[in-house]
């Protein structure tokens, strides 16, 4: 059932596999270097932008009480007067 493989055939298969393995190693090295280069390029690109922070203050006349102003324009004055008394 299992016939022996001639030595020449075995050697040719092994040499073909060695060439394939060598090519795969070269491909792995190229992919690793490409990964490092592209990540480095993204880091340089992101560092090219200037990050600036601004603090904005505004005076609000609320009469009596505190006012809390959220970033979307809602204004909350001191106590909530919308609740119905019980």
Domains in the chain, number: 1
Q: What is the pTM of this model?
A: 0.52
How far is it, in rounded angstroms, from Cα 69 to Cα 76? 6
In a domain, 5, yes or no: yes
Does pLDDT of 73 surpass 60?
no
Among residues 78, 82, 76, the alpha carbon closest in space to that of 64 is found at 78
Instruction: Tell me the per-residue pLDDT of 3-39, one tens digit each, with 9 for 90 and over.
Output: 898 999 999 999 999 999 999 999 999 999 999 999 9
In a domain, 79, yes or no: no
In a domain, 37, yes or no: yes
In a domain, 7, yes or no: yes
Could you tell me which residue, 1 or 24, shows the higher pLDDT?
24
How far is it, in rounded angstroms, from Cα 63 to Cα 60? 9
Among residues 19, 2, 68, 15, the alpha carbon closest in space to that of 78 is found at 68
In a domain, 81, yes or no: no
Tell me the pLDDT band of 53, cut-offs 50, 70 and 90: confident
Domain containing 29 equals 1-49
Mean pLDDT score of the chain: 82
């Amino acid at each position: 059932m299992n016939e022996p493989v001639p030595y020449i055939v075995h050697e040719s298969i092994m040499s073909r596999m060695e060439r394939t393995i060598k090519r795969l190693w070269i491909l792995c090295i190229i992919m690793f270097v490409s990964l490092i280069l592209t990540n480095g390029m993204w880091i340089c690109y992101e560092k090219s932008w200037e990050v600036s922070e601004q603090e904005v203050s505004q005076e609000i006349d609320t009469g009596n009480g505190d006012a809390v102003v959220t970033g979307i324009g809602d204004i909350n004055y001191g106590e909530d007067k919308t609740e119905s008394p019980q």
